[in-house]
Structure 1
Amino acid sequence: MADQRELVILSLYPRDMNIYGDRGNLLALTRRARAHGFEPRVVDLNIGDTLPEHVDIVIGGGGQDSGQIRVAADLAGRAAEFQALAEGGTPMLVICGLYQLFGHRFVTTSGSTLQGIGVLDVETRGGDERMIGNVVVDSRDFGEIIGYENHSGYTVLGSGSEPLGTVLQGAGNNPDDGSGGARSGNVLGSYLHGSLLPKNPAISDFLIATAAQRRYDAFEPRAGVDQTAERARAAAKRRPR
């Protein structure tokens, strides 16, 4: 039955955190889930909304500073809920602004501090240099991750998170240490927009497979190689920053 193959995807703050093409991640994820034989049900969580009783996958993007300030206040009241989801193994992908807020704190260029919820062991400080352009990250788990960055956040990882990979092209978390993104358990964070998932179906497959194994105790892949994604990856790698 279709309801036995449902996957609930929680889309975080789409009204405020949905720039640089981040909605494309949601579209790519739902399309890939259907190709694997699941029926995705998307639930939007905006400021003041109630968290649904069941969540299989969490996904969220970036936003302007004004939106990030509003979201930080709302997210702080949900810290225990998201920490519990993460500790229970729920797969999550958070990009840019929500990547920062899923860490411990984000200190803006003006010196204000936005407290994060500590799901990822990262801290971010706003910098004067804006890092823009195509990025290639060599990842042990996902091969080459290809995306587009546009941020001035300088993010450093603590011992509780590991990098998603090593930056081959671009800046990644910061211009200094060569790390790209962060992972803690099944929670992934990254600065890569572009959107990320249309060009990186391996990450979509990780989110879907992890969710299916948790909910249905099994995952049998059905979706094949996405040739459109392969062409997009090749084109992005050829473009200069």
Structure 2
Amino acid sequence: MSQLPVEVTAMAEVPADKGEVHVVHLYPREMSIYGDLGNTRCIAARLRWHGYRPVVHDHHPGAPWPERADLVLGGGGQDSGQVRVQEDLAAQADRLRELAADGVPMLMICGMYQLMGQAFVTVEGERLPGLGIFDVTTQGGRTRMIGPVVLDTDLGQVVGYENHSGATRLGEGQAPFGRVRHGHGNNGSDGTEGARTGNVFGSYLHGPILPANPRLADGLLEIAARRATGEWAPGEIDDSIADQAHQRQVRRLLG
């Protein structure tokens, strides 16, 4: 178990007296490119600001699973990174499915989003089976979908940056995370981005996504805190800088 150091700027530290929230970061070495580590740092910082005690567990391939998981995060990685975590992911598959079915909130970005689906097929044709939490299938490609994104979601408008070559298709009845207002999304053609099953969210958005979207971050934290402590008692957080950056991206892309 390791507790992640978090840089706190322009905000005084809030006394942590509302209880512990345990955050599991899956494969931070193999699956945390394009700034996705920032999601874990954002979650830990916002928990502190809200008055909770974050306990961050970095889960590496072959390591024992933490005794407690109130929120699970996973990031993006290259195809080689996905292959390196495949064995451990298979070993943890039943546990992760059980946590998802039990309502534990999860945010899976890019490569980990793909591995939470039915399967990921690499450019070379190797089929990597997924956990089946999302009814999605991804086909690797040689053309990358890159650029800023604006989505409409159930948690409000979300902004971020995509960089992926995999084209993901939703199964019949699978809800997307959001609808694309600008960008490529899952596959560049059907207007969907990511997937959502219960409290499990999958998305291609880097950035990282959570610092740029405080409402999304707090939506995950509310679910986690209620599970961990029995209530959600948010503190006062000044999100004006994040909100300004968010609004500027929306204005720039949508006019």
**Which band: TM-score by shorter chain?**
over 0.9
Q: For 1:13 and 1:162, locate their aligned partners in 2 and report how far apart those are by CA, in whole Å.
A: 26
Report the TM-score when normalising by structure 1: 0.94
User: Are 2:158 and 1:152 aligned?
Assistant: no
User: Are 2:84 and 1:84 aligned?
Assistant: no
> Residue 108 of structure 1 contacts residue 126 of structure 1 at CA under 8 Å; is this kept in 2?
yes
Identify the structure with the greater strand proportion. 1
Look up the match of 2:10.
none
> Residue 120 of structure 1 contacts residue 160 of structure 1 at CA under 8 Å; is this kept in 2?
no
Segments of structure 2 that go 5 or more residues without pairing to the other structure are 1-14
**CA-to-partner distance for each residue in 1:13-70, whole Å, 9 max, x for gaps?**
0010111000111111111111111110100001101111110000010112111111
Aligned length, in residue pairs: 240
> Residue 20 of structure 2 contacts residue 228 of structure 2 at CA under 8 Å; is this kept in 1?
no
Look up the match of 2:134.
120
Look up the match of 1:200.
213
Name the CA shift for 1:18/1:239 in 2 (closer, same or farther; >3 Å): farther
Structure 1 segment 65-84 matched on structure 2, within 5 A: 65-84=79-98
> Residue 92 of structure 1 contacts residue 188 of structure 1 at CA under 8 Å; is this kept in 2?
yes
Once the two structures are TM-superposed, the CA of residue 238 in structure 1 deviates from its matched residue by 5.1
Segments of structure 1 that go 5 or more residues without pairing to the other structure are none
Look up the match of 2:189.
176
Q: For 1:4 and 1:236, locate their aligned partners in 2 and report how far apart those are by CA, in whole Å.
A: 35
Once the two structures are TM-superposed, the CA of residue 231 in structure 1 deviates from its matched residue by 2.2
Q: For 1:231 and 1:120, locate their aligned partners in 2 and report how far apart those are by CA, in whole Å.
A: 33
Structure 1 segment 34-53 matched on structure 2, within 5 A: 34-53=48-67
SS at match of 1:148: strand
Once the two structures are TM-superposed, the CA of residue 4 in structure 1 deviates from its matched residue by 5.9
Once the two structures are TM-superposed, the CA of residue 220 in structure 1 deviates from its matched residue by 2.0
Q: For 1:19 and 1:165, locate their aligned partners in 2 and report how far apart those are by CA, in whole Å.
A: 22
User: Are 2:153 and 1:143 aligned?
Assistant: no
Report the TM-score when normalising by structure 2: 0.89
Q: For 2:128 and 2:110, locate their aligned partners in 1 and report how far apart those are by CA, in whole Å.
A: 14
Q: Percent identity?
A: 51
Q: For 1:64 and 1:153, locate their aligned partners in 2 and report how far apart those are by CA, in whole Å.
A: 11
Stretch deviating more after TM superposition (116-125 or 10-19): 116-125
